[in-house]
């Protein structure tokens, strides 16, 4: 089964151990257990995979799981119907629509599969479920535990992130392990952020570049699950620990957890996209977004593509879209050099051949210590200071 969740397992494991309330610990334990089961469960039923009609535009269907785990659940709102009283239903409807519009208007893509696939969502999954996921056929949203996490339908970037796993599934189909898995996660962060920016009409400079902003309840010392602008600074809380994402290849985390660190090491390509968009300016869903989308859909990436492979694909895309002497290509190359994926001598579109970081890699035990760290002292909703620059 294809299963991608927005909250990484190491964060739920940290919470299950760190919170004082036994009922909260039980909720996080249950969320972890459900996620483990979901990885082996067949995809959701035929209703979730139903293709769209020829009507054009998004074809959305939102279901209410009614705090059970049978999917998709009871029909709650269909395409074109008026808003209902359940705000989670309306947020899922709006978030999937915003993501559909971004892919359609910015990249000419017709839904997740490029052929008008209906967008199915289920809300109120289980009780206190602290996650949201794409299961290969539909979106599923939990309501959160109520103390650490609120409802997962509230953040458009979360919806966009999970739906983009579907886009990757239908295009490059990047293996969900190691560097290819971190790319899979990063690409979802990129287009999840772009869905929010496009929906709000934000420029690169105006965007917050946070993934999951608004998920944390008051009192949590952090602003989001991840920061694309400054990986490693999204949270630092006694219960959550400290954000473990690296921003540079010299800090690449070697671990067997989290499918080889797919949620952790995604900070490196995330920052490369942010730096590219910031250097180009304007709207990130224009030139920078087109380069990343073109690389993803180019057909040149293997399922086990490395960071260097993807960097070369973005260079090739920038060259094809904007020319060999373009500022866009220069921005792409400099961004990947800044995060340590390409060397200063790397030529545009030259395959790197590097498969993993070979120096300065943190040991697994150190990464686990970082993930478990609880060095706080921050006011609520304030991010930690950025890590030392690797530029």
What φ, ψ does residue 211 adopt, rounded to 5°?
-110, 115
Half-sphere exposure of 212 (CA within 13 A, CB side): 28
Q: CA–CA separation, 292 vs 188, rounded Å?
A: 11
Q: In sequence order, which residues have a C-beta less than 8 Å from that of residue 357 and are 6 or more positions away?
A: 249, 250, 252, 340
Cβ atoms within 10 A of the Cβ of 323, count? 11
For this structure, is 263 an active site residue?
A: yes
- Are 90 and 84 within 8 A, CB to CB? yes
With 0-12 CB in 10 A as exposed, 13-18 as middle and 19+ as buried, what is 278?
A: middle
- Are 125 and 181 within 8 A, CB to CB? no
Q: Which of 4, 124, 198, 263 is catalytic?
A: 263
Q: Which of 13, 154, 162, 185 is catalytic?
A: 162
Helix H or strand E segment including 292: helix 287-296
Q: CA–CA separation, 336 vs 324, rounded Å?
A: 17
Cβ atoms within 10 A of the Cβ of 127, count? 13
- Are 76 and 63 within 8 A, CB to CB? yes
Considering only CA atoms, give the Rg of the chain: 20
Q: Which two tokens stand for residue 230?
A: 């400054």
No. of helices (H) and no. of strands (E), the chain: 11, 10
- Are 179 and 307 within 8 A, CB to CB? yes
Cβ atoms within 10 A of the Cβ of 74, count? 12
For this structure, is 162 an active site residue?
A: yes
Q: Just list the catalytic residues.
A: 162, 263
């Amino acid at each position: 089964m294809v299963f991608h969740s927005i909250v990484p397992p190491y964060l739920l494991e940290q919470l299950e151990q760190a919170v004082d309330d036994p009922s909260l610990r039980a909720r996080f334990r249950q969320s972890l257990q459900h996620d483990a089961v979901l990885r082996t469960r067949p995809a959701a039923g035929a209703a979730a995979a139903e293709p769209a009609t020829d009507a054009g535009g998004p074809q959305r269907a939102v279901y209410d799981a009614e705090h059970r785990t049978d999917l998709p659940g009871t029909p709650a709102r269909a395409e074109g119907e008026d808003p209902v009283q359940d705000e989670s239903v309306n947020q899922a409807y709006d978030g999937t629509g915003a993501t559909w519009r971004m892919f359609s208007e910015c990249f000419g893509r017709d839904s997740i599969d490029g052929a008008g696939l209906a967008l199915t969502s289920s809300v109120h999954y289980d009780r206190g479920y602290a996650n949201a996921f794409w299961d290969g056929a539909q979106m599923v949203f939990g309501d959160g535990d109520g103390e650490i996490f609120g409802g997962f339908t509230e953040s458009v970037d979360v919806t966009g992130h999970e739906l983009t796993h579907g886009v990757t599934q239908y295009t490059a189909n990047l293996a969900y392990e190691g560097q290819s898995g971190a790319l899979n996660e990063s690409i979802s962060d990129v287009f999840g952020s772009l869905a929010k920016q496009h929906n709000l009409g934000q420029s690169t400079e105006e965007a917050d570049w946070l993934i999951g902003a608004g998920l944390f309840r008051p009192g949590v010392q952090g602003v989001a699950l991840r920061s694309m602008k400054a990986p490693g600074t999204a949270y630092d809380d006694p219960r959550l620990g400290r954000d473990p994402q690296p921003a540079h290849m010299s800090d690449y985390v070697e671990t067997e957890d989290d499918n080889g660190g797919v949620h952790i090491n995604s900070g490196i390509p995330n920052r490369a996209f942010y730096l590219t968009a910031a250097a180009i300016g304007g709207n990130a869903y224009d030139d920078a977004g087109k380069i990343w989308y073109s690389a993803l859909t180019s057909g040149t990436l293997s399922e086990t593509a490395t960071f260097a492979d993807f960097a070369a694909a973005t260079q090739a895309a920038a060259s094809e879209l904007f020319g060999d002497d373009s500022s866009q290509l220069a921005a792409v190359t400099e961004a990947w050099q800044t995060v340590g994926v390409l060397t200063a001598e790397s030529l545009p579109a030259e395959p790197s051949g590097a498969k993993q970081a070979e120096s300065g890699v943190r040991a697994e035990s150190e990464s686990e210590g970082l993930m478990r760290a609880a060095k706080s002292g921050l006011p609520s909703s304030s991010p930690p200071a950025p890590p030392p620059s690797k530029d």
